[in-house]
Structure 1
Amino acid sequence: MKPNRRHLLSVLTAAALLPLKALSQSLPRKEVLVFYYGWYGTRAYSGQDIHWLNPDTVRERIADAPNYPVGGPYDSLDPAVIARQMSEIKSAGITGLIVSWWGQTDRTNDQLRRVLDAAGAQGLKVTAYVEQVASAEGVAADTLYLYQTYSRHPAWLRLNNKPVIMYFDRLMQDIGLDGWQKARVLIEKQAPNAISYVATANTLKEIKGRKSAFDGLHIYSQQFEGAETRLLPSLWRTKYYTDWVKAQSGAKVTTATILPGFDDRLQLDRKGKRPVIKREDGKPFRDLWNAAIAAKPDWILIVSFNEWHEASQIEPSTAFGSRELETCRQMSAKFLR
């Protein structure tokens, strides 16, 4: 019996396409993620001002923040505030949040529960940013808690079909690479091959040293690079992002971080000359967006939605209005298309 030539051709064609299909399925989904802080409290809602130092609603000033939020200080546990923020983030074309998390008994843990539901209602993704580090055992315990408590939520961010948990640079400062390796062994014993780990690496040297220990890396403290004066800023931006993304080659996800502005000089515990990045007319932020997009990372990360102490927020302020949210809306559409 002669084989059906048409059937044979279709089988061969399908076989040839299999590697391409597998490759496309393994590529990370593009994301625009914003660092988000849920540590704020007000007397009206929580009985005390938390992370708002001596707020003056008449003069519209906060003693430890250079800018003032539209509508004044708010409480991060207030469902109406969370709903408003999720709506703003969604409207800006951002796809998800990296939520600052300070431990199982901290107020940010309660806030994370509420954000997950509100973000999910908007179609946004969420992951936790582990910031409190005591020991390798503590990191393992907190990671397993997050995994077991939240990772099955439909809004939790995933990479290669595994929930993502992210770590601030304090992890490496406090316990080092050896401490992280120990923590990961403890995690994997209870949750083998179940989590995607993404951590901080602020320099090319740090990427090289940490890449094998994590599924992905990201910059957070970009202000030191960004505050330097450049002879040819456009050439610096191009090289900066190209080198950064290239250095991550081989990681399961590549990232590029952008920063709208920075000024932490009102933080009295930070000594010496501090880096300041002025927003000017908003063009520097747009320039960083364009350079980051051109470098073709998988994820673009924005520092931050509402870190008011460091004046890196894109949340509406009396100084800048919603300008940065509008920039994100335009640029996110360009990146994600």
Structure 2
Amino acid sequence: MVDTHKWILGVMLLGFIVLHVGIVNSDVSSEPVVAVYYYVWYGSDGRHWSDSNDTLVLFGDMPVIGFYSSMNTSVIEWQLGLIEDAGIDVLFVSWWGPRSYEDHAAQKLFSIISNGNYSVKAAILVEPYLHTERSDWYNESFWSITLDYIMENYVEKYPNVYFRLNGKPLVLAFNPIGMTYKPNDNRFEIRIVGNDVDNAGYQDWDLWPDYLAPWVTLKDVELRVRRDGYVALTPRFDDRLFCIYSNRTGCDDRLVDPTYVAQAYIKQWEWVIEHKNEVKIIAIYSWNEYHERSMIEPHYDATAEIPGYTPYTIYNITKHYIQLLKKTGETSPPSNTTTSWLAVDVGKILFFIAALSFITYYLFEIRHRKNFKTVVIGTIRSFYVEAKHVLEKLKSITKKK
């Protein structure tokens, strides 16, 4: 009897412990993740500030702090302060390959986040750094070199900063990467980001909601929720300079709210608030992509026509709706809480098995023993004492957290 008694108690206690730990460690926050695409290609020597026909910035558009360098510590800290204050959770950092300018700037960004008092996370967006639209160049060898480099120089070096999806480091890649070859690397969650997602058929997420374009007058909006509950927003898209001075075509067909008069950004955010239970990741294009004029970073604006516009208007709209979202949002637990919720389920199962064993064992006892009542009372008392002891220990652990 003694051995069976101990076995039942042991299983019940194990179930209780696993159940409690699972609940304690579960991220009960139901808020969606808010991300923003972040660009680190700017330099103090004019780099990417209209230094070529491929890096044009419309005259009159300028960051409120002036044309800056992505390598400047003060600039990065200024940006991170605003990003944190707005409630943005993750930066999707545009990255142009090992040992590139953007690589050095991105590593500096990760270092500042890691060493500073910041809660924001970051993940790498791999750009087509071979500078070709030939998708076959982005092959198995390309991916192997790229992922190994990201693992060594970002994930392992800054584990407290790197953003994880489903428990794995997230790596994004911009089309045409992924068109011909997409790796199956169990170290990462890999998502292909791009344009014309519905027709192209190989991307996972929109960079920006290009399916809404052209959008230059007031209209209703219906956003498209992609894999992982991802939805993309943009305050504006306007690359018409590149149709005039470079080799792009079809810019008018891609135009989204160049003057902000159509209230495109507000309408997108209102859709998100209304459909918050469907959304898990909200990605804003962009923090500071000035070439395509999608920036939410505080800036002077060449074409804004909304009454009372200030350099902080679009940023403040972002901040307002994130606060509203996180105040009222109720969605299912984020994917990275799977392990904790599994612990809850395992605990329930173990507890059920033990309870069933308890009932079965003592139904047998009642037929074969006269001291059934004494045994049951003694067992319940023993379980109560042990459970109380375990609970006190778990409470002390929880307080330390």
Please tell me whether the aligned partners of residues 258 and 292 of structure 1 are also in contact (alpha carbons under 8 angstroms): no
- The CA distance in 2 between the partners of 1:157 and 1:282, in whole Å, is 34
The match for 2:50 among 50, 53, 59 is 53
Change (3 A) 1:282 1:77: farther
The equivalent of 2:93 in structure 1 is: 99
Runs of 4+ in 1 over 4 A off after TM superposition: 24-29, 201-204, 228-231
Alpha-carbon offset, residue 98 of structure 1: 0.4
- Aligned pairs for 1:16-165 (under 5 A) are 30-42=32-44, 48-53=45-50, 64-65=57-58, 67-120=61-114, 121=116, 122-131=118-127, 132-133=129-130, 134-136=137-139, 137-152=141-156, 153=158, 154-165=160-171
Please tell me whether the aligned partners of residues 208 and 232 of structure 2 are also in contact (alpha carbons under 8 angstroms): no
Normalised TM-score (structure 1) = 0.74
Normalised TM-score (structure 2) = 0.63
Q: Deviations over 1:252-310 (max 9, x none)?
A: x2200000011111123212443222242583212101212315211100000000011
Quote the sequence identity (%). Answer: 23
Equivalent AA in structure 1 for residue 76 of structure 2: I
Alpha-carbon offset, residue 14 of structure 1: 6.0
Equivalent AA in structure 2 for residue 146 of structure 1: I
Change (3 A) 1:130 1:63: closer
The equivalent of 1:167 in structure 2 is: 173
The match for 1:335 among 310, 320, 325 is 325
- The CA distance in 2 between the partners of 1:223 and 1:315, in whole Å, is 21
Alpha-carbon offset, residue 204 of structure 1: 6.1
Q: Comparing both chains, which one has the higher relative contact order based on Cα–Cα distances under 8 Å and sequence gaps of 6 or more?
A: 2
Deviates more, 1:297-306 or 1:147-156: 147-156
Identify unmatched segments of 5+ residues in structure 2: 131-136, 302-309, 328-401
The match for 1:199 among 172, 175, 192 is 192
The match for 2:212 among 200, 220, 225 is 225
Please tell me whether the aligned partners of residues 34 and 94 of structure 1 are also in contact (alpha carbons under 8 angstroms): yes
Alpha-carbon offset, residue 54 of structure 1: 5.9
- The CA distance in 2 between the partners of 1:326 and 1:77, in whole Å, is 25
Change (3 A) 1:221 1:96: closer
Equivalent AA in structure 2 for residue 169 of structure 1: N
- The CA distance in 2 between the partners of 1:158 and 1:64, in whole Å, is 33
Identify unmatched segments of 5+ residues in structure 1: 43-47, 56-61, 212-216
- The CA distance in 2 between the partners of 1:200 and 1:26, in whole Å, is 29
Equivalent AA in structure 2 for residue 305 of structure 1: W
Alpha-carbon offset, residue 163 of structure 1: 1.0
Residue 260 (structure 1) aligned with residue 235 (structure 2): yes
Alpha-carbon offset, residue 228 of structure 1: 4.2
Please tell me whether the aligned partners of residues 201 and 210 of structure 1 are also in contact (alpha carbons under 8 angstroms): no
Please tell me whether the aligned partners of residues 215 and 255 of structure 2 are also in contact (alpha carbons under 8 angstroms): no
The match for 2:266 among 272, 286, 297 is 286
Change (3 A) 1:329 1:64: closer
Give SS of 1:76's match. coil
The match for 1:277 among 252, 256, 271 is 256
- The CA distance in 2 between the partners of 1:297 and 1:71, in whole Å, is 34
Change (3 A) 1:21 1:199: farther
Deviates more, 1:221-230 or 1:194-203: 221-230
Change (3 A) 1:29 1:312: same
Please tell me whether the aligned partners of residues 37 and 283 of structure 2 are also in contact (alpha carbons under 8 angstroms): yes
Please tell me whether the aligned partners of residues 260 and 282 of structure 1 are also in contact (alpha carbons under 8 angstroms): no
Give SS of 2:93's match. strand
Alpha-carbon offset, residue 323 of structure 1: 1.3
Alpha-carbon offset, residue 139 of structure 1: 2.4
Deviates more, 1:304-313 or 1:119-128: 119-128
The equivalent of 1:214 in structure 2 is: none
- The CA distance in 2 between the partners of 1:265 and 1:123, in whole Å, is 37
Change (3 A) 1:229 1:69: closer
Give SS of 1:127's match. strand
Change (3 A) 1:107 1:229: closer
Please tell me whether the aligned partners of residues 169 and 187 of structure 2 are also in contact (alpha carbons under 8 angstroms): yes
**Rg comparison, structure with higher value:** 2
Alpha-carbon offset, residue 95 of structure 1: 0.8
